Amino acid sequence: MSKYGENDKQGQYWNEAPGQSWVINDTAMNERLQAISDILFQGLDVTGCNNGLDIGCGAGSTTRRLAAIMGNQAKVTGLDISEKLLALARSHPESVGKDFLQADAQSCKFEPEGFDLAISRFGVMFFENPFKAFQNIKSAVQKGREMRFVCWAPISANDFFLSPLNTVVDITGVSFAEPGKEPGPLAFSDRTYLSSILKTAEFSSINIDIIETSISTKDSVEKNASLLMEIGMGFRAIKEAAPTDEVLNEIREAFVADGNKRQKNGFISYDATIYRVSAVA
Ligand SMILES: C[S@@+](CC[C@H](N)C(=O)[O-])C[C@H]1O[C@@H](n2cnc3c(N)ncnc32)[C@H](O)[C@@H]1O
């Protein structure tokens, strides 16, 4: 088996330049995803939980938050396919005592029912075989215990993706197919499909809440434009279009102009819609 288990393509993706962008922009993304993190953790019942798992934990912001909620006695593990993001996670001063493991959540061998809670902030939409991945994840969670994660609703309800994507398509003329069920941030935006994955894995009490929220930042419009060049659907379309430096500048300027229009009371904001998914193993 390869270094990245059954998810070689995604393993490479998250260990190469795009993963590096998440390393560089970790603080910026945590700021933007603050409201969504609050939604993920809202009302999370950790009573009697001693061993938590954060799937696709990235640089570990939610792993540390989970540990803080679970308390000193609890063990918390962050699992991710990207060594680059895990290295950043491990280097954080508040990561002391947390385990960060490099593994493919789809194919790694979990200790059966080794965890009594599993969470994820946008870390579970990148599997070649999501049916198998969720069967594997279920095997890792104690019977009767919760798995909870957030993932993106359709792109039409997510301005942070749609707006930069439209900008790049307008400027470059690149044809960028609407993302479907392939591994990627929007892989689970069809609720019926998502529900069928969790049912096939034999989770029970499946609940998929649709929650409207926002992505906001106090960053300058220039800094925000730079981030949009490196993360999200605009970035993916730029990669596809492979524009000249001149066109890249045009895109950056368009992102700055859009940021100026959005900025209010010091915040640049985007409408966002997510699913908060809860299921019992
Ligand atoms: C959008 S990022 C989210 C990271 C983090 N949860 C956060 O909110 O900052 C997706 C994460 O999923 C991880 N990932 C992708 N495929 C994976 C797999 N098969 N197994 C484990 N982690 C995976 C990536 O390396 C990346 O860290």
pLDDT per position as a tens digit, 228-257:
999 999 999 999 999 999 999 999 999 999
- In the numeric block, the tokens 């730029």 are attached to 238
pLDDT of 185 strictly over 80: yes
Which backbone phi and psi does 211 adopt, to 5 degrees? -125, 125
**What is the rounded CA–CA span in Å between residue 107 and residue 251?**
39
What does the angle CA 167 – CA 185 – CA 67 come to, to the nearest 5 degrees? 125
The answer to whether the CB of 220 falls within 8 A of the CB of 226 is no
Which backbone phi and psi does 134 adopt, to 5 degrees? -75, -25
Q: Residue 1: what pLDDT?
A: 57
Mean pLDDT of the region 154-164: 96
Domain boundaries, the chain: 8-280
Ligand 1 pocket, mutate which of 66, 81, 127 (most atoms under 8 A from CB): 81
Q: Residue 176: what pLDDT?
A: 81
| pTM, to two decimals | 0.96
* Sign of the Cα pseudo-torsion (217, 219, 222, 228, in order): negative
Pocket of ligand 1 contains residue 106 by CB under 6 Å: yes
Q: Residue 245: what pLDDT?
A: 97
- Give the position, in ligand 1's atom list, of the atom nearest the Cα of 59: 9
pLDDT band of residue 28 (cuts 50, 70, 90) is very high
129 burial (CB, 10 Å; 0-12 / 13-18 / 19+) is middle
What residue's CA is closest to ligand 1, atom 5? 58
Pocket of ligand 1 contains residue 80 by CB under 6 Å: yes
Q: How far is the CA of 124 from the centre of ligand 1 (A)?
A: 7
The answer to whether the CB of 187 falls within 8 A of the CB of 126 is yes
What residue's CA is closest to ligand 1, atom 9? 58
Task: Give Cα separations from 42 to 39, 69, 149 (angstroms).
Answer: 5, 11, 12
Pocket of ligand 1 contains residue 60 by CB under 6 Å: no
What is the CA 178 to chain-centroid distance, rounded?
19
Q: Residue 3: what pLDDT?
A: 76
Q: How far is the CA of 72 from the centre of ligand 1 (A)?
A: 25
pLDDT of 2 strictly over 80: no
pLDDT of 126 strictly over 90: yes
Q: Residue 29: what pLDDT?
A: 97
**What is the rounded CA–CA span in Å between residue 87 and residue 85?**
5
**What is the rounded CA–CA span in Å between residue 150 and residue 145?**
17
Pocket of ligand 1 contains residue 160 by CB under 6 Å: no
pLDDT of 275 strictly over 90: yes
Pocket of ligand 1 contains residue 81 by CB under 6 Å: yes
Pocket of ligand 1 contains residue 104 by CB under 6 Å: yes
Mean residue pLDDT across the chain: 96
Mean pLDDT of the region 61-77: 96
Q: Residue 179: what pLDDT?
A: 85
Q: How far is the CA of 167 from the centre of ligand 1 (A)?
A: 26
User: Which of 36-40, 69-73, 207-211 is predicted least confidently?
Assistant: 69-73
Pocket of ligand 1 contains residue 58 by CB under 6 Å: yes
Task: Give Cα separations from 176 to 163, 170, 267, 273 (angstroms).
Answer: 13, 11, 29, 21
What residue's CA is closest to ligand 1, atom 2? 123
Q: Residue 271: what pLDDT?
A: 97
Q: How far is the CA of 123 from the centre of ligand 1 (A)?
A: 4
Does residue 2 or residue 128 have the better pLDDT? 128
Pocket of ligand 1 contains residue 268 by CB under 6 Å: no
Pocket of ligand 1 contains residue 11 by CB under 6 Å: no
pLDDT of 57 strictly over 90: yes
Q: Residue 234: what pLDDT?
A: 95
- Give the position, in ligand 1's atom list, of the atom nearest the Cα of 58: 27
CATH architecture of the domain with residue range 8-280: 3-Layer(aba) Sandwich (3.40)
Q: Other C-beta atoms within 10 Å of 75: how many? A: 17
User: Which of 3-17, 46-60, 236-250 is predicted least confidently?
Assistant: 3-17
Ligand 1 pocket, mutate which of 14, 29, 161, 274 (most atoms under 8 A from CB): 14
User: Which of 6-20, 136-150, 202-216, 225-239 is predicted least confidently?
Assistant: 6-20
